[in-house]
Structures are given as C-alpha cells and as structure tokens.
Amino acid sequence: MIGERCLGRLQVGQTGRVSKIALPADYEQRLAELGILPGVDVSLVQVAPLGDPIAIEFEGRRMGMRRCDALGIVLE
C-alpha cells in the first residue's frame, strides 16, 4: 500500500473517505458491522501519547483502533 493514503497515516483533525478495506476478511466484516464501509467519511480525532491506539470518528460515532489496523483502511 505504498503511495496510498491510509487512515493510519492521517494527522489529528484530518478527514478522508474510505475507498477500500485491505484487512483480513473477519476484521473487515467486523468493521462493516460497526459502519466502516467504502464511501464513509472518517476523521482522526485523537492519538494516544505513544502513538497507538488512535481514536477515529465516523457518522457521529467515535471508536479506538490500533494504528496497524488503520493502515489497512485506504482513503480516497
């Protein structure tokens, strides 16, 4: 995914629209159940002091995730 814009590389306050999710099928399914699907706008709202985990916001919801997992969410 070199050269692609990923959720895990955003800075606090930046927003992007999900274009695809490149993670194992079970994790991708779980994200879909939570509402993270292609076409959804997501923003990075907080980063832990050591850089991991991160907090994201989408459709009025906020959740935490590991940065390595966020690298598998490709943005437009």
| ∠ CA 22-68-54, rounded to 5° | 115
Decide if 21 is inside a domain. yes
What global pTM score does this model have? Answer: 0.86
Q: CATH number, domain at 40?
A: 2.30.30.90
Decide if 54 is inside a domain. yes
Task: Quote the pLDDT of residue 51.
Answer: 87
Decide if 32 is inside a domain. yes
pLDDT for 3-57, tens place per residue? Answer: 578 999 999 999 999 999 999 999 999 999 999 999 999 999 999 999 899 999 9
Task: Quote the pLDDT of residue 50.
Answer: 92
One-letter amino acid of 74: V
Decide if 44 is inside a domain. yes
pLDDT for 43-71, tens place per residue? Answer: 999 999 998 999 999 999 999 999 999 99
Decide if 2 is inside a domain. no
- What secondary structure does DSSP assign to 14-56, as a single string? -EEEEEEE-S-HHHHHHHHHHT--TT-EEEEEEE-TTS-SEEE
Q: Which residues pair with 74 in a beta bridge?
A: 6, 20
Q: What is the domain count for the chain?
A: 1
Task: Quote the pLDDT of residue 72.
Answer: 93
Residue with tokens 């879909």: 32
Q: What is the largest CA-CA distance in the chain?
A: 30
